[in-house]
Structure 1
């Protein structure tokens, strides 16, 4: 069965900038990478300049920096890693999700363990006194 023109149109919409296809020109690929570089550089410059300006209310700066960091991760995923929602990228998305899960488990587990140790460890003198019943 052949693909209709409509299916090809949706396949083209579901491709990342810089995706390599047979009909894709080198100039268009370089243009996609340059656009990604420009956006990543712009987001980085904004993140560095933001705390020194009065554009955002001072207590809201950490939230703005998190938003810019998430936006920059999106730029990197789309423009440089070519992560899209197409069926060809299912394995890439699953590998990325698994990596994120492992990182959160390691960081969350480490914080949990350190918090538990901090709560349950007593300084040496107090621990000795409790064991002796004083």
Structure 2
């Protein structure tokens, strides 16, 4: 078997690249930084202006937050659809599942506790203090 079959570019560890070209990487980072700043400024603008219909502000902020996460994933964490990125995508999906389970489970438990533990009336609270 030739040496060419043993070493594929996708088998290199991070930092082991034979030729590191800084220019394209910096352009990607600056593009991501510009988009992140633009999305952040847009979020502050949407939250602080009267030009946006008030009931739509939470939806707009959620959309801008999701866009911000996408910018960070692509430009800074380098999560792409390349074949060698499968493990990163699976790790990200598993992490999101865990976060969803923890947050969703916490909200569900707090909701059930709130429903199952009635708040005492003011008279009952006053009697407890005596």
TM over 0.5: yes
Structure 1 residue ranges, 4+ long, deviating more than 6 angstroms after superposition: none
Deviations 1:16-46 (A, max 9, x none): xxxx965662111111101100100110011
The 1:96–1:124 alpha-carbon spacing in structure 2 relative to 1, beyond 3 Å, is: same
Aligned-CA RMSD value = 2.0
Unaligned runs of 5+ in 2: 1-15, 122-130
**Residue 85 of structure 1 aligns with which residue?**
81
**Residue 38 of structure 2 aligns with which residue?**
42
Deviations 1:49-91 (A, max 9, x none): 1123344211111111111101010000000011111110110
Unaligned runs of 5+ in 1: 1-19, 126-134
TM-score (norm 1): 0.71
**Residue 4 of structure 1 aligns with which residue?**
none
Equivalent residue pairs, number: 106
d(CA) in 1 for partners of 2:46, 2:119: 43
Higher relative contact order (CA 8 A, sep 6+): 1
